[in-house]
Amino acid sequence: MTSKKVVFVDMDGVLVNLMPYILGQMNKIHRTEYTAEEIQQFRFLGQFKEFTWPPLAKVWAFDKSTCPPIKGSVKGLTSMFKDESLDVFIVTSPWVSNYDCCRKKREWLDH
């Protein structure tokens, strides 16, 4: 009996770059010009005083048209799923203060 190798693939920063999308949307809403280099943590609230929850919740209305996969990630992931020697799992950390985060990430993966 041959055991399969287990591979965990992170969603954020591997399959999709959510951070630049979210930051760009928040900059548009609040007319700010924060850059990715200024981000110290994924939690925007509290880090940038202008960013507030109601607009931030709307930003999570992303899909593959507004937040496309990282170049090559779909091809690589498809290749891993086809490899019968691998058990592949996609992992991600939900944004716990956003009740819709898990559903939106799942929808992004499903499409």
76 versus 108: the higher-pLDDT residue is 76
> Across-strand partners of 16?
12, 69
24 versus 90: the higher-pLDDT residue is 90
At 89, the pLDDT band (50, 70, 90 cuts) reads very high
For the full predicted model, state whether its pTM sits above 0.85: no
pLDDT of residue 78: 95
pLDDT of residue 111: 73
What is the mean predicted confidence (pLDDT) over 75-91? 95
Q: Please, what is the average pLDDT of the chain?
A: 81
Calpha distance 17→86 (Å, rounded): 25
Please report which residue ranges of 14-70 form alpha helices under DSSP H.
Answer: 18-30, 53-59
